Structure 1
Amino acid sequence: MKHNFTRICIAGAGAIGCTLAARLATTGLIPNILARGDTLTALKTQGIELTDLDGYHHATVHASDNPQQLGPQELIFICTKAPALADILETLQPMITTDTIVIPLVNGVPWWYFHGLEHGDEITLTSVDPDQRIERLLPASQVIGAVTFMTAHTQAPAKVQSTNPHLLTVGELNHQSSERLLRVRQLIEDAGIEARASDHIRDPLWTKIIANLTSNPLSIISGASLSQIYSSTQLAPLTRQILNETLLVAAAYSARIPFDPPTFMQMGAEMGEFKTSMLQDYQAGRPLELATIGDAVVELAQRVGLDMPITRHTLGLAHFMDEQNRASSM
C-alpha cells in the first residue's frame, strides 16, 4: 500500500520531532516543521542533523513559525510536551481542515482516552483537559492514537542523536482497522521506523504509562538514573509499590500488559545511567508532565474505586519540588 501523503507537518522540533522529520526526509519527502527561536533558525540555515543506529542523516525541511505560511496539512504529528498541547492546537488551527489526521506523540494519559469507546464521549479527564479546551480544538474523530517508544537527545538546535531502535505504535481510538491507519503505518515504515498498527491502542499506551509513572516523578525527587530507580536497595522497593498500584488500575481498565513485575523491574534496571526526560526538564526549569503522567492515572483509579497511596504521595512530593523550582526561577 502507498501512503500518498504529501503535506505532512511536525509540530514541535525537539528531539523526537527532529528525529521523525529526518527519518521522513529519507523517503524523499520534505516535511513541514512548525518551530520557533534558535531551532527555527537552525532548521532554515542547516536543516536537521540526525545520528541514529542507521548512521548520519542530513534532512532538508520546510520550517516556519507561521501556520498560515505552511497552510492546510493532510497529516500532523504533534511532538510537544503535554502542558503545551492546548496552546499548540490553538496555533495549528489554520493548518487543520476537516480531513486532516492528527497524531499526538505526547506522554501520559491522553485526553482522548475514553473517546471511541461505548459512551466514552461523555467522559472527560479533568486532570488532562480541565476546561475541555483540547476537546473543542480537535475532534477525536480526526485523531489517531499513538505510543512512541523512541529516545533521542538534542545536542544543539536541530542536531539530534538517538542510540536506540525507533518504534511507533498507532491505532484508531475505536479499536477498529481503517485505511487511514494502514496508510499512516506505511508512511512510518517507509521512514525506517518500526511501525505497529494496534487493534487495541490502549494496551501499549498503558505499557508506556507504567514506564513513565514508575520512573519520572521519582527521578525528580531523587535525582536518580533509571538504573538506580529500578535496582537500588533504597529506591527499588518504592518503585515496585508504584508499579503494583499502577498495574491494578490498568487491570481495572482491561489492559493487557505483556510483562510481569520482576521482568519489568529488570528491564528498567538495564536502561542504565540514563536521566528521565522529566528530570532533564526539571533541571532546565521547564514545565513538567506530572498531570498526564501521574495525576490522570490517579483520576482513573478513583473512577473505579481504587486508591494509590504510594503513588499519590510520590506525586505530591514531585509537585512540591516543581512548584519550589519554578518559584526560585522567577
Structure 2
Amino acid sequence: MKICIVGAGAIGGLLGGKLALAGEEVTLIARGSHLAAIQEKGLELRLIDGSSQVVTPTLATDDITQVEAQDVVILAVKTNGVGAIAPLLPSLYHQHTMVVTAQNGFPWWYFRKHGGEYEGISLQSVDPDGIIENYIDIDRVIGCVVYQAAEIVEPGVIKHIEGERFTLGELDGTKTERIQLLAESLKKAGFKTPVRDQIRTEIWVKLWGNLAFNPISGLTGATLEAIARYPLTRELARNMMLEAQAIAQRLGINFGISLEQRINGTEKVGAHKTSMLQDIEAGRPTEIEAIVGAVIELGKLTQIPTPHIEAIYASVKLLEATKY
C-alpha cells in the first residue's frame, strides 16, 4: 500500500520506517534537520533488540503538495498540530483513502458514529473552529491507540524504547475489509495490531493515566515512578482519575481494570519522562487540551465535577502562558 506518515518524528518515523522495511511504499512528512538527515542518509531505526536498520523511504519531504494520492494517511503529528495540517490533507486523498488518527488524548471525532445520546457533539477543546472536521471526512477515519515509546536521538535516527501494540478500530465498531487490510500491513511490519469494536474504551484506558501523570510530570519535572511512589502526588493522581472514571462510566465506558492496577502499571514504566514534560522542557506547546481540557469539557457535558483536574489544568495553562 501507499502509506504517508504525516509527522515522521519519533513515533511516526518508527511506524513509517518499519512499514517501509516490510515492503510498503512509504512517504515521510518531516521537517528541519531531521528531514535533511533522512534525505541525505536515510532513516536509521535503532530497534529494541539492539539491531539497527537504515530505511530509504519512497519520498521524504516537508511539502505535502509533492505527494501523490495515498491509500493510508497516518496522522502522527501532535494533537495540537492537527488543525494546522488538516487543510493540506485533501491532496493526499483518493476515493478510498483511510486517515488513521495516531494522537494522544481525545480525538475530535469522539462523538461521531458514537450512537449514544451525545451523537454529533463536537469537542471544542480539540477542534474549536471545526477546521479538522472540515478537511477530514469522517468516513475516512480509523481510530487508533499508540502504545510505543520512541525518541529521536539525533536527526534522522530513531530509537525504539518499548512497545509494539498499535490498536485499531472503526468508529462504529465494525470489522471492515479495509481495517483488516491495514492491520495486516502493520502486523507484517512487526506491530501487534488488534482490531477492537470499542476503540473509545481503548482511548479512555490509555488516557486514564495520562490525564493525571502527564500534567503532574510537566509541572514537577518528576518521572512516572516518582509521581506514583510519592504519597501526595499518588493521591492527587488518584483523585484526578476518580473524577475521570465517573465521566467515563457516565459515557458507558468500562475500564476492565481497577484504578490501583492502572496506577501500578504506570509506576512499572519506571523513570520515564512523559511527553508533556519533554514538551515543557523543550519550550514546545503541550497537548494539554486533548489530554486534560477535553476531560473537563466532558465533565461539564455530563454534569460531573472535576475540581482536581481543573486545578492541574489551570496550573499547566499558566505555566505555558508564562514560560513561552
Same fold (TM over 0.5): yes
Aligned counterpart, 1:110: 107
Q: Name which of 53, 71, 92 aligns with 1:57.
A: 53
1:98 paired with 2:98, answer no
Q: Secondary structure at the match of 2:193?
A: strand
What CA distance in whole angstroms lies between the structure 1 residues aligned with 2:149 and 2:256?
21
Aligned counterpart, 2:190: 192
* One-letter amino acid matched to 1:82: T
Q: How many residues align structurally?
A: 321
Q: Secondary structure at the match of 2:194?
A: strand
1:8-23 mapped onto 2 (5 Å cutoff): 8-23=3-18
What CA distance in whole angstroms lies between the structure 2 residues aligned with 1:44 and 1:200?
39
Q: Secondary structure at the match of 1:281?
A: helix
Taking structure 2 as the reference length, what is the TM-score of the superposition? Answer: 0.96
Q: Could you report, residue by residue, the CA deviation over 1:116-136 in whole angstroms, capped at 9, with x for unpaired residues?
A: 123755311111111111110
Unaligned stretches of 5+ residues in structure 2: none
Per the TM alignment, residue 50 of structure 1 is displaced from its structure 2 partner at its CA by 1.1
Per the TM alignment, residue 244 of structure 1 is displaced from its structure 2 partner at its CA by 1.0
Q: Name which of 198, 214, 218 aligns with 1:216.
A: 214
Per the TM alignment, residue 263 of structure 1 is displaced from its structure 2 partner at its CA by 1.4
What CA distance in whole angstroms lies between the structure 1 residues aligned with 2:124 and 2:103?
17
Q: Could you report, residue by residue, the CA deviation over 1:269-328 in whole angstroms, capped at 9, with x for unpaired residues?
A: 1111111011000110111101100010111111111011011101111111111111xx
What CA distance in whole angstroms lies between the structure 2 residues aligned with 1:233 and 1:121?
40
Q: Secondary structure at the match of 2:305?
A: coil
Which 10-residue stretch deviates more, 84-93 or 73-82?
84-93
Q: Could you report, residue by residue, the CA deviation over 1:216-238 in whole angstroms, capped at 9, with x for unpaired residues?
A: 11111111110011111231111
What CA distance in whole angstroms lies between the structure 2 residues aligned with 1:30 and 1:170?
20
Unaligned stretches of 5+ residues in structure 1: none
Aligned counterpart, 2:166: 168
Q: Name which of 19, 29, 48 aligns with 1:24.
A: 19
* One-letter amino acid matched to 1:102: V
What CA distance in whole angstroms lies between the structure 1 residues aligned with 2:23 and 2:143?
25
| Contact preservation (8 Å) 2:79, 2:290 | yes
| Contact preservation (8 Å) 1:14, 1:158 | no
Q: Hey, which bits of structure 1, 4+ residues long, moved more than 3 A?
A: none
Taking structure 1 as the reference length, what is the TM-score of the superposition? Answer: 0.94
What CA distance in whole angstroms lies between the structure 2 residues aligned with 1:69 and 1:156?
26
* One-letter amino acid matched to 1:207: V
What CA distance in whole angstroms lies between the structure 2 residues aligned with 1:36 and 1:236?
38
Q: Name which of 224, 227, 234 aligns with 1:226.
A: 224
What CA distance in whole angstroms lies between the structure 2 residues aligned with 1:312 and 1:153?
30
What CA distance in whole angstroms lies between the structure 2 residues aligned with 1:49 and 1:287?
27
Q: Secondary structure at the match of 1:110?
A: coil
* One-letter amino acid matched to 2:46: T
Aligned counterpart, 1:205: 203
Q: Secondary structure at the match of 2:283?
A: coil
What CA distance in whole angstroms lies between the structure 1 residues aligned with 2:120 and 2:252?
19
Per the TM alignment, residue 45 of structure 1 is displaced from its structure 2 partner at its CA by 0.8
* One-letter amino acid matched to 1:230: A
Aligned counterpart, 1:150: 148
What CA distance in whole angstroms lies between the structure 1 residues aligned with 2:233 and 2:260?
15
Aligned counterpart, 1:277: 275
Aligned counterpart, 1:126: 124
Which 10-residue stretch deviates more, 177-186 or 263-272?
263-272
Aligned counterpart, 1:48: 43
- Could you say what the CA RMSD is over the residues aligned between the two structures, in angstroms? 1.3
Q: Secondary structure at the match of 1:258?
A: coil
What CA distance in whole angstroms lies between the structure 1 residues aligned with 2:192 and 2:66?
32
Aligned counterpart, 1:141: 139
Q: Secondary structure at the match of 2:232?
A: coil
What CA distance in whole angstroms lies between the structure 2 residues aligned with 1:188 and 1:177?
16
